[in-house]
């Protein structure tokens, strides 16, 4: 089975998807993301559908060709997270697809030759190409691409080098002054002046003192851009970079 785990996506792609998730949440769009990374065997099974196996054709890329963006962990599919309406609401796909484009993702619903409404991909890795041929030319296999990822991907990628284990202290309440100039660990649900300080330093956020989905998405973007562990939590390493 292909995975719904967004942590399997490249950190930059994951940050864009999390930003999209936050935008959908603001607008009350109930979206479910699925099909992140596919193995070669999974892609071959999908390719066989409608050809040598029952069902309709859903992809023109075999696993052996390595031409699916999903195999390179820079694509994700989505649907409406309401039972019985998952794929029937065309307007929903158009809304989410348009939002995805503002978050730096390419929406398959725009494609002329093979429209794919549930599909999103991060074409920044392939210079705007609709296929991963540039990655194939550079890395040869998805596994070698995964191994090239920044250390932030190591926690969820069995191929990339894993960072040493780090003990993270329990979070202090956001409005409690921290000793010796240190900052408290902040995560989704934190509130107070420390969150306002974090939002000011990150930029691009409303300074409301509430650590919600938009702040979490911005933290993940900052962590990814600065080669930190991407967990959406403002801990010692993230604060250290922000204050440095």
Supply the CATH number for residue 214's domain.
1.10.101.10
pLDDT, tens digit (0-9, with 9 covering 90-100), for 191-233: 999 999 999 899 878 888 999 888 888 888 888 778 788 888 9
Percent of the chain with pLDDT over 90: 59
Mean pLDDT calculated for residue range 100-126? 93
Question: Between residues 20 and 150, which one has the greater pLDDT?
Answer: 20
Question: Between residues 224 and 117, which one has the greater pLDDT?
Answer: 117
Listing from the earlier edge strand, what are the strands of the sheet with 106-107?
31-34, 75-80, 119-121, 106-107
Q: Which pLDDT belongs to residue 91?
A: 97
Which H or E element spans position 13?
helix 11-26
CATH at residue 82: 3.30.1380.10
For residue 235, pLDDT beyond 60: yes
For residue 178, pLDDT beyond 70: no
Residue 157's pLDDT band (boundaries 50, 70, 90)? very low
For residue 164, pLDDT beyond 60: no
| 23 & 77 share domain | yes
Report yes or no on 89 lying in a domain: yes
What's the whole-number average pLDDT of the chain? 84
| 38 & 101 share domain | yes
Report yes or no on 1 lying in a domain: no
Domain range for 212 is 179-243
Q: Which pLDDT belongs to residue 129?
A: 78
| 138 & 73 share domain | yes
For residue 122, pLDDT beyond 70: yes
State how far the Cα of 195 lies from the Cα of 224, in Å rounded to an integer.
Answer: 20
| 129 & 72 share domain | yes
For residue 137, pLDDT beyond 50: yes
Burial 210-242 (b: 16+ CB within 10 A, else e): bbbbbbbbbbbbbbbeeebbbbbbbbebbbeeb
Report yes or no on 163 lying in a domain: no
| 146 & 219 share domain | no
Residue 155's pLDDT band (boundaries 50, 70, 90)? very low
Report yes or no on 66 lying in a domain: yes
Report yes or no on 134 lying in a domain: yes
| 141 & 30 share domain | yes
| 96 & 185 share domain | no
Q: Please count the residues of the chain.
A: 244
Domain count, the chain: 2
Q: Which pLDDT belongs to residue 183?
A: 86
Mean pLDDT calculated for residue range 182-191? 89
Which H or E element spans position 136?
helix 133-139
Least confident residue range of 62-71, 170-179, 214-223: 170-179
Least confident residue range of 27-31, 65-69, 108-112, 205-209: 205-209
- The pTM is what? 0.62
Report yes or no on 137 lying in a domain: yes
| 134 & 27 share domain | yes
Report yes or no on 164 lying in a domain: no
**Domain stops at, among 153, 187, 220:** 153
């Amino acid at each position: 089975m292909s995975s719904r785990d967004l942590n399997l996506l490249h950190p930059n792609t994951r940050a864009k998807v999390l930003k999209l998730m936050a935008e959908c949440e603001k607008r009350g769009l109930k979206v479910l993301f699925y099909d992140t990374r596919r193995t070669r065997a999974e892609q071959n099974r999908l390719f066989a559908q409608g050809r040598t196996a029952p069902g309709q054709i859903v992809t023109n890329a075999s696993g052996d060709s390595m031409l699916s963006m999903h195999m390179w962990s820079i694509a994700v599919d989505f649907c409406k997270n309401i039972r019985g309406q998952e794929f029937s609401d065309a307007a929903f796909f158009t809304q989410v697809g348009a939002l995805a484009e503002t978050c730096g993702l390419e929406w398959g619903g725009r494609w002329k030759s093979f429209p794919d409404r549930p599909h999103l991909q991060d074409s920044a890795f392939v210079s705007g190409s609709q296929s991963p041929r540039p990655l194939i030319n550079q890395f040869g296999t998805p596994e070698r691409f995964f191994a090239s990822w920044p250390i932030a991907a190591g926690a969820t990628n069995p191929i990339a080098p894993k960072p040493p284990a780090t003990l993270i202290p329990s979070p202090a309440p956001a409005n409690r002054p921290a000793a010796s100039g240190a900052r408290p660990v902040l995560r989704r649900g934190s509130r107070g002046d420390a969150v306002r300080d974090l939002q000011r330093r990150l930029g691009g956020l409303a300074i409301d003192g509430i650590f919600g989905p938009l702040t979490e998405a911005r933290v993940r973007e900052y962590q990814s851009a600065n080669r930190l562990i991407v967990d959406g939590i403002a801990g010692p390493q993230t604060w250290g970079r922000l204050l440095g």
